Structure 1
Amino acid sequence: MDTDQYLEMFIEESKEHLQSCNEHLLELEKNPQDLGIVNEIFRSAHTLKGMSATMGYEDIADLTHMMENVLDAIRNSRIRVTTEILDVVFQAVDYLEEMVIDIASGGTGKKDVRELVESLNAIETGKNAIISAVAETAVTSVLAEENGTVEPLLYDGYEMTVITQSAEQGFNAFEITVQLRDDCLLKAARVFMVFEILEKSGEIVKSEPKVEQLENEEFDDMFTVALITKEDASILKTKVMKVSEIETVTVMPITIHNQSKENEVEAAQNTGTVTTILDEAEAKKDPTEQKDKKNTGAHSGNKTIRVNIDRLDILMNLFEELVIDRGRLQSIATDIQNPELTETVERITRISGDLQTIILNMRMIPIETVFNRFPKMVRQLARDLDKKIALEIIGAETELDRTVIDEIGDPLVHLIRNALDHGIESPAERIAKGKPEEGTVTLRAYHSGNHVFIELEDDGAGVNRQRVLAKAIKSGIVSEEMAETMTDRQVAELILASGFSTAEKISDVSGRGVGLDVVKNTIESLGGYITIESKEGQGSLFQVQLPLTLSIISVMLVELESEVFAIPLTSIIETAIIKTSEIMSAHNQKVIDFRGNIIPLVNLSEIFEMPGTADVSDGHQSVVIVRKGDKLAGLVVDSFIGQQEIVLKSLGNYLQSVFAISGATILGNGQVALIIDCNALIK
């Protein structure tokens, strides 16, 4: 089967199922008696197994099957949930994630899992005999077909358990028989497309012929699939019929009878057990809900589609070009002063503004895609450190542009590891301090204006002022005189300095001596900043501020000599015209008094080595007050041009090291303007 076109879909859906397994395993550890959670994990694992087998990744399918066996034993109360058993299942999920990532990077998805398989087998000891005994009373389903009778599907004990338990939870159980056209050329491809549709609608329990035979086109023109779903038969039939080269689709409820021919009479009496359960479940539903379902029909399905992120990137690039041309049109309309042209340009500006909002929203991704990896990580690190730690996540639905999402994961991992290793004390230490033995780490995200704030708070030991200052003085980061005047917040933020670490010994958990300056640099490269508040003995709060998007930004255009530069509005406090007489000197640095604060002046003409200097012939200078965290500076420019939305373009690989320039943009008149990196100018 040609799987290239389906590979990306397989990878994305596999990641979703594995993430679901992780989340539910964490829930199961807290509620080991809740078999509903086990069923959820089982469904994800079973779907992943089917997808992997269909795509030809047998190693993934085999490992998932072994994991299923353990889950089935738990579900049927043959083994009891323990932390040690969950450790092995978590490891299986980790291996599966590694195999999927390997496939995503062009690999084969193969991995030596023999030791892990032995562990899973050891957990599941004695299960095979039980399954064999159950299989003796296996049941079948009979599906009527328009052109005759389809060969009944045979279900083993496990498959029947899935069907009956799903029915008890209000799911429908159907057998779907698909007849391909006689002239169908790509039978395996059509089968895959049908499987893809059905897996999105529910869980495939069984197929006849088997997946391997379907994949190798070892069948005539007909195949049958058993499906557990919430959807109606008519909706399923409509969806499957949309696949090309399909002759007929028949959807029938699964009915049960005993396999033994000697008991056919009894079977006739018992036929429809599952159907009856389904009908009862349906009858219990709200009548209004059923009425709505009838009225909406196929439109009641999910109104979302999966779009390749590369396509969104292309769309964004095209729109960026449109923004540049929009600016050009505005410039021309201003010069010509034609009323009709001006009106048209204003309309284009409004429409493109709405289009920009839609495109940016399409690129927004919930930050839970980053946060969802942390619960399992905290569980494992807490065990490694022999600590008791609870992770609380708030605001995971907060959305960020994918360009920011892609970069923020690693810094957050480092902050969490630091909090667990250096922040949260051991249970014995916490009890001695009168604290609960279980420490709490809270990760929250929220919007504020055009920014997203991510906060990591712990109730641990906080920053030890004396220890940090001693290390900072020893490293030459601050002098003893400076140390005496520093506030607690300033001391706490010393741990962000380059190479700073108070670790007594190198630890795999907190980063092997790598300081938090890496986190700080990454965040600042994204146009954000990080602050720290800490109370010794009570805990610490790390706050990260990030822009919503990095692609289209609002800037203040300023002029230096004949060149135009752009300063991001997110960094600007205000603009001002100051008298040259107000400029003072301190430590060989020009400064001004800005609302009671002494802030340094930075002459951009000198920074960029431009031939002239700011025009001070009238005794005044134009200054842009900018900030980085709680630090301010005044950028001296020749003149202000105005505010504008611009498209941020990279300078490319050859110009990455240009000081204080973060990118460039093309203005409406075709001129290139460099974008100033205010973070680099404020020390």
Structure 2
Amino acid sequence: MGTVESGICADFLVEAREIVSQLGEQMVVLEHTPDDRDCLNTVFRGFHTIKGGAGFLDFPQMVSVCHAVEDRLNAARSGERTLDAGAFDATQQAIDLLADMLDAVATGVTLQPPPESLLDALRLPAAAPAASAPAAAPPTPVAVAVAVERAADPVEDDFDFEALLDSLHGKGGVPGSTPAPAAPAPAAAASPPAGSPAPVAVASHPAARPARAVAGESDTTVRVDVRRLDAMINLVGELVLARNRLKTIRPRLRDEELDRAVTSLDVATSRLQSAVMMARMQPVGRVFSRFPKLARDVARQLRKSVELVVEGADTELDRNLVEALSDPLVHLVRNAIDHGIEAPAQRLAAGKPESGTVRLSAQQEGDHVSIVVRDDGAGIDPEKLRRSACDKGLIDQEGAARLSPEECLQLIFLPGFSTRSEVSDLSGRGVGMDVVQSRIRELSGSVQIQSEIGHGTCFTIRVPLTLAILPTLLVELEDDVYALPLVRVVEVLSSDPGRPMVLDGQPMLDLRRRPLPLLSLRVWLGLPEAPLSAQTCVVLQSGEQRYCLAVDRVRGREEVVIKALPRTLRGLPGYAGASLVGDGRMALILDVDGLLRTGLGKER
């Protein structure tokens, strides 16, 4: 493709992927409320838009899929034929296929023709029943409802692919595509409910694709290449380092005019840093939008009745974090339905509603965002986890006996742990949970678990708003500086925290009658030990456990720009990154969880 065509194709991929991500959720809502004509028209328009762009760019395979779905949806719009369970299943399969085709186009892979079986499933029978005939019952006793928080419509991008096609070809058809049958225009979207942010009724559907921006509104937005934003982040990071350097030098020079200049620079840098970070923010709803379809597919496969409730979809995170959270959240939501929610008969026998509820919510808490996956299912039995861990040799009997019920729940994150006796396509709780935890830790976040037998399970993920700049507590060991993520720091103890004691060969520190493991950073690094009275202890949080880290000195708080580790340290446990601090020295950013895992072994 030439330059113009390549740019158009890139824009098409961006918009088409956004539409496909919304279509799965919209189809779930339409399946639950088949009389919602606004939702039906929105879905039809989504497929029509993709078909138009695919036809213009000469992707006939994609056009065939969209055209087949259009015909089936248009029959429902005109009243000729209602959508039955087979039509909903086939349309969801078409959405999956379109997503795969878009990925193939992005990577330059030649598209293959759509399966005839899918096209056949979308085609209307020769003799369609009257419009008044009821829709066929689903083949399995599945009910998947979706309740979402209704928020204000997002601002439409200034680039409109359909408008571009219209300008290139006029208001007629698009080459390579079949004109769509005339249909009533979509009704105006309902305005968001004022006041309370509580989820709307189950029968409501997510906000449809926003209407075309009126004249002048499109001038308020602009699409920027992500690489340019990344370059700006790097430049702001260098500016932050320079500011920190000046703030370190300022006390030695004792110049009043310099003080004023550095103070002004500090304020401007902080504002610029905040502005650039906001430019990279995206709502977590970009990830949440895929879960209604996921919930529907898993529930149908397991013959369960599930209601997915989505809240806080407009909470914003750094775009890199939004993308990185996708896989862990998919695993948690799928497992909540697979092993959290009981079968309908089991729920009724336990006095519960036949339909289970999985709640996916997000909210900002200071400089972090909390994402919660909660189900009202059977819960997790700590004793079952204890026995399973012993049976698999992951923990010895003596160690298992000392675990509290809360600590038993943490066993679920051990590699290779599972309570499921049979392997299935849907992994059970524990299969891959170590990977989920590792992925969250790579994002400088944490995952916690709470469960009550018979009432359900709750996973809470906490991640920073951004990964580019990290608030840290700087500590010193001889002449070297180390950085601890500030979010993991509970408190800094006095210079003489008391005498340690030893339990089972592990040094412990009695902190307000609560013994905590005591780790020496000197011992961990292989340096000569120093008396605890000459050191300072920092209390750190690792999951549900706290421990004390002994260091020579605590230097203070400082925001650092995260850099990749030197090659010699990459892959070593206990290190999370590197940075330059205010005095120009390199500081290694320590992995709080890795310190605990490896430090316990060294202390024994």
TM-score when normalising by structure 1: 0.73
In the aligned structure 1, how far is the partner of 2:279 from the partner of 2:294? 29
1:106 aligned partner: 108
Q: Are the aligned partners of 2:383 and 2:405 in contact in 1 as well (CA < 8 Å)?
A: no
Say which of 479, 487, 490 aligns to 2:404: 487
In the aligned structure 1, how far is the partner of 2:161 from the partner of 2:438? 46
In the aligned structure 2, how far is the partner of 1:558 from the partner of 1:571? 14
Say which of 217, 225, 229 aligns to 1:312: 229
In the aligned structure 1, how far is the partner of 2:438 from the partner of 2:267? 37
Say which of 543, 547, 554 aligns to 1:629: 543
Say which of 493, 502, 523 aligns to 1:606: 523
Say which of 647, 660, 675 aligns to 2:561: 647
Verify: 1:406 aligned to 2:406, yes or no. Answer: no
Relative contact order higher in (CA < 8 Å, ≥ 6 apart): 2
Q: Are the aligned partners of 1:327 and 1:668 in contact in 2 as well (CA < 8 Å)?
A: yes
2:587 aligned partner: 673
1:23 aligned partner: 25
Verify: 1:663 aligned to 2:577, yes or no. Answer: yes
In the aligned structure 2, how far is the partner of 1:528 from the partner of 1:309? 23
Q: What one-letter code is carried by the residue in structure 2 that aligns with 1:316? A: I
Written as runs of structure 1 = structure 2, the 5 A alignment for 1:347-426 is 347-426=264-343
2:390 aligned partner: 473
SS at match of 1:413: helix
Q: Are the aligned partners of 2:52 and 2:162 in contact in 1 as well (CA < 8 Å)?
A: no
In the aligned structure 1, how far is the partner of 2:566 from the partner of 2:303? 46
CA offset digits 1:510-529 (Å, max 9, x no partner): 26983411111111222222
Q: What one-letter code is carried by the residue in structure 2 that aligns with 1:506? A: V
In the aligned structure 1, how far is the partner of 2:457 from the partner of 2:497? 43
Q: What one-letter code is carried by the residue in structure 2 that aligns with 1:476? A: G
SS at match of 1:579: coil
Written as runs of structure 1 = structure 2, the 5 A alignment for 1:227-376 is 298-301=215-218, 303-376=220-293
In the aligned structure 2, how far is the partner of 1:52 from the partner of 1:590? 66
Q: Are the aligned partners of 2:42 and 2:186 in contact in 1 as well (CA < 8 Å)?
A: no
1:89 aligned partner: 91
Measured at CA, do residues 502 and 112 of structure 1 come closer, stay the same or move farther in structure 2, by a change above 3 Å? same
1:525 aligned partner: 442
Measured at CA, do residues 576 and 213 of structure 1 come closer, stay the same or move farther in structure 2, by a change above 3 Å? closer
Say which of 187, 197, 212 aligns to 2:175: 212
Q: Are the aligned partners of 2:60 and 2:176 in contact in 1 as well (CA < 8 Å)?
A: no
SS at match of 2:447: strand
1:584 aligned partner: 501
In the aligned structure 2, how far is the partner of 1:472 from the partner of 1:633? 24
Written as runs of structure 1 = structure 2, the 5 A alignment for 1:27-46 is 27-46=29-48
Q: Are the aligned partners of 1:488 and 1:534 in contact in 2 as well (CA < 8 Å)?
A: no
CA offset digits 1:410-463 (Å, max 9, x no partner): 111111222122111111111111111111111111112222111111111111
Q: Are the aligned partners of 2:418 and 2:429 in contact in 1 as well (CA < 8 Å)?
A: no
The structure where strand makes up a greater share of residues is: 1
1:57 aligned partner: 59
Verify: 1:575 aligned to 2:492, yes or no. Answer: yes
How far has the Cα of 1:567 moved from its partner?
Answer: 1.2
Q: Are the aligned partners of 1:19 and 1:372 in contact in 2 as well (CA < 8 Å)?
A: yes
In the aligned structure 1, how far is the partner of 2:268 from the partner of 2:489? 28
CA offset digits 1:464-506 (Å, max 9, x no partner): 3332222122123344445455433222222222211011210
How far has the Cα of 1:100 moved from its partner?
Answer: 0.5
In the aligned structure 1, how far is the partner of 2:434 from the partner of 2:165? 47
In the aligned structure 2, how far is the partner of 1:76 from the partner of 1:209? 22
In the aligned structure 2, how far is the partner of 1:22 from the partner of 1:299? 31
Q: Are the aligned partners of 1:622 and 1:640 in contact in 2 as well (CA < 8 Å)?
A: yes
CA offset digits 1:281-305 (Å, max 9, x no partner): xxxxxxxxxxxxxxx9843446222
In the aligned structure 1, how far is the partner of 2:515 from the partner of 2:166? 66
Identity of aligned residues (%): 35
Q: Are the aligned partners of 1:201 and 1:230 in contact in 2 as well (CA < 8 Å)?
A: no
Q: Are the aligned partners of 1:198 and 1:204 in contact in 2 as well (CA < 8 Å)?
A: no
In the aligned structure 2, how far is the partner of 1:523 from the partner of 1:371? 17
Measured at CA, do residues 615 and 323 of structure 1 come closer, stay the same or move farther in structure 2, by a change above 3 Å? farther
Q: What one-letter code is carried by the residue in structure 2 that aligns with 1:38? A: L
Unaligned runs of 5+ in 2: 129-157, 178-184, 189-212, 598-604
In the aligned structure 1, how far is the partner of 2:111 from the partner of 2:565? 37
Verify: 1:14 aligned to 2:16, yes or no. Answer: yes
SS at match of 1:673: strand
In the aligned structure 2, how far is the partner of 1:483 from the partner of 1:556? 34
CA offset digits 1:545-597 (Å, max 9, x no partner): 22221110111111111111111111111112243752222222222111221
In the aligned structure 1, how far is the partner of 2:291 from the partner of 2:492? 42
How far has the Cα of 1:330 moved from its partner?
Answer: 2.5
RMSD: 2.9
SS at match of 2:307: strand
Q: Are the aligned partners of 1:501 and 1:514 in contact in 2 as well (CA < 8 Å)?
A: yes
Question: Larger radius of gyration, structure 1 or 2?
Answer: 1
SS at match of 2:377: coil
SS at match of 1:545: strand
How far has the Cα of 1:40 moved from its partner?
Answer: 0.9
CA offset digits 1:183-222 (Å, max 9, x no partner): xxxxxxxxxxxx96473699999846753399xxxxxxxx
Q: What one-letter code is carried by the residue in structure 2 that aligns with 1:211? A: V
1:446 aligned partner: 363
How many residues matched?
536
SS at match of 2:175: helix
Measured at CA, do residues 512 and 681 of structure 1 come closer, stay the same or move farther in structure 2, by a change above 3 Å? closer
In the aligned structure 2, how far is the partner of 1:538 from the partner of 1:229? 42
CA offset digits 1:240-281 (Å, max 9, x no partner): xxxxxxxxxxxxxxxxxxxxxxxxxxxxxxxxxxxxxxxxxx
Measured at CA, do residues 202 and 371 of structure 1 come closer, stay the same or move farther in structure 2, by a change above 3 Å? farther
Unaligned runs of 5+ in 1: 128-194, 215-227, 232-295
Measured at CA, do residues 200 and 327 of structure 1 come closer, stay the same or move farther in structure 2, by a change above 3 Å? farther
SS at match of 1:624: strand
Q: Are the aligned partners of 1:534 and 1:541 in contact in 2 as well (CA < 8 Å)?
A: yes
SS at match of 1:43: helix
How far has the Cα of 1:655 moved from its partner?
Answer: 3.3
How far has the Cα of 1:404 moved from its partner?
Answer: 1.7
In the aligned structure 1, how far is the partner of 2:428 from the partner of 2:282? 28
Q: 16-25 or 108-117: which moved more?
A: 108-117
Measured at CA, do residues 338 and 21 of structure 1 come closer, stay the same or move farther in structure 2, by a change above 3 Å? same
Q: Are the aligned partners of 1:614 and 1:637 in contact in 2 as well (CA < 8 Å)?
A: no
Q: Are the aligned partners of 2:574 and 2:594 in contact in 1 as well (CA < 8 Å)?
A: yes
Q: What one-letter code is carried by the residue in structure 2 that aligns with 1:629? A: G
2:121 aligned partner: 119
How far has the Cα of 1:105 moved from its partner?
Answer: 2.4
Q: Are the aligned partners of 1:529 and 1:629 in contact in 2 as well (CA < 8 Å)?
A: yes
SS at match of 2:493: strand
In the aligned structure 2, how far is the partner of 1:390 from the partner of 1:213? 41
How far has the Cα of 1:367 moved from its partner?
Answer: 0.8
Q: 197-206 or 634-643: which moved more?
A: 197-206
TM-score when normalising by structure 2: 0.83
1:79 aligned partner: 81
In the aligned structure 2, how far is the partner of 1:197 from the partner of 1:516? 41
Measured at CA, do residues 4 and 653 of structure 1 come closer, stay the same or move farther in structure 2, by a change above 3 Å? farther
The structure where helix makes up a greater share of residues is: 1
SS at match of 1:649: coil
